[in-house]
Structure 1
């Protein structure tokens, strides 16, 4: 750590990398290489780190990713049980169904954890990279869900409307299209005129507004009453700034990572966090705000 830490009120989001792999090979996934060697992976150590983060920021958000969180429901349950109900919990998943795990197993898991899980973010891409479970499963889930779709490189823009119409038929669905964040820079984060995805979406859905902060932004649309967001974020999660009020330079953290072996990182770029220093973190109001338009009613 070069500077003292600062983060938003409530604490930086804590993303947990589950200690088991998925069978997928999505071309835009930058995590896959981390699962080539599972040596040292430990759900128990992850649980220890969850307790540490809860003790420091008892109201931060937790996000499970991977890997595939739903590939091992027993281990996922153990980690979920470690998180007190003061936290919001999100799970990034392809919602896998196999001969060893049925749709009923997944539905039952969401029923058991409906007071714990805030939202399940389900990957469904326009170009299919994985075997997908049935769309009908989505409306059976006992918790809120959102469809996440990365528009990767030369995505087929003619497929946008059929894709949206597909999920318009699923009760409770909302869509978040995501820019390939490995290609996001501070210069193009808020770019509108040169953003092909944004221009394509404006052709097919009414634009309702923009929210954003230093690190990420969301362009909002309404597609026939279904909530639609286009999300962009930087490929790192630390902003270095000098506070004009006290003259102190801070590492401002937006995301904290618990890795597969339980190590706690302060950025997506492999930086270990100084846990003792984070216990003295300075809080500031979250700078995410509406820039254009207004919040969806």
Structure 2
């Protein structure tokens, strides 16, 4: 660590990479290579790191990703059980169903954890990269869910409306379209003029406003009563900035990662977190704010 840490009130979001792989090969996934060798992966060490982060920031958000968190419900349950109720918990998943795991197994898992899981983010892309479980499973989940869809490279624009109509029929559904974050830069994060995805969405839905912070932003829409968000985020999680009030230069953290072996990182590029220094982190108000809001 070069600079002292600063983060938002409540603490940086802690993303946990589960210690088991998925069977998918999505072209925009940058995590796949990490699962080629599972040596040293440990749910037990991950739980120890969860305990450390809970002790430092007992109200931070946790996100489970991978890999595929729901590929091993027993292991996931063990990790969830280490997270107290003061935290919000999100799970990124494809809702995998197989000969070893039924829809009923997933539904029962959500019932058992309905007071623990804040939201399940379900990957459903316009281009089929994975074998998808039945859409009807979404309406059976006992926790809130959101559809995540990466609009990757030359996505099929003609399929946007059929895609939206597919999920508009499911009670509780809302959709987050995501820009390929590996291509996001500080210069194009808030760009509207040259963002073709934004123009495509404005043609087919009602624009309702923009929120954002230093690191990410969301353009909001309404499609026939269904909420849509177009999300863009930078491909790193630390911003180095001097505080104008005290003159101190801080590493401002938005995300902290618990890797498959339990190591705790301060960014997506392998930078380790100085856990002892983070115990003295400086908090600031979260800079996420509405920048534009269109009245209904």
TM-score range, shorter chain: over 0.9
Taking structure 2 as the reference length, what is the TM-score of the superposition?
A: 0.99
RMSD: 0.8
Name 1:16's counterpart in structure 2.
16
**Mapping for residues 276-287 of structure 1, pairs under 5 Å:** 276-287=276-287
Q: Does 1:218 align with 2:218?
A: yes
**Structure 2 match to 1:44:** 44
Q: What is the TM-score with the length of structure 1 in the denominator?
A: 0.99
CA-CA distance at 1:295 after TM superposition:
9.1
Count of residues paired in the alignment: 296
Offset from partner CA, 1:77-118 (integer Å, 9 cap, x none): 000000000000000000000000000000000000000000
Instruction: Check 1:295–1:89 CA distance in 2 against 1; reply closer, same or farther (3 A cut).
Output: farther
Superposition pairs for residues 28-107 of structure 1, below 5 Å?
A: 28-107=28-107
Aligned to 1:252: 252
Instruction: Determine helix, strand or coil for the equivalent of 1:182.
Output: helix
Whether the 8 Å CA contact 2:177–2:230 is kept in 1: the answer is yes
Once the two structures are superposed, what CA deviation does each residue of 1:11-59 show, in whole Å capped at 9, x if it has no partner?
0000000000000000000000000000000000000000000000000
Partner of 1:122: 122
| Residue correspondence of structure 1 range 135-146 to structure 2 within 5 A | 135-146=135-146
Q: Deviations over 1:149-201 (max 9, x none)?
A: 00000001111000000000111000000000000000000000100100000
Q: Distance in 2 between matches of 1:15 and 1:75?
A: 16
**1:129-165 deviation per Cα after TM superposition (whole angstroms, max 9, x unaligned):** 0000000000000000000000000001111000000
1:193 and 1:243 map into 2 onto residues whose CA distance is: 31
Aligned to 1:137, what secondary structure does the other structure show?
helix
Quote the Cα distance in structure 2 between the aligned partners of 1:192 and 1:34: 34
Runs of 4 or more consecutive aligned structure 1 residues displaced over 6 Å after TM superposition: none
Question: Structure 2: which 5+ runs fail to align?
Answer: none
Q: Where in structure 1 are there 5+ consecutive unaligned residues?
A: none
CA contact (8 A) 2:207 2:294 kept: no
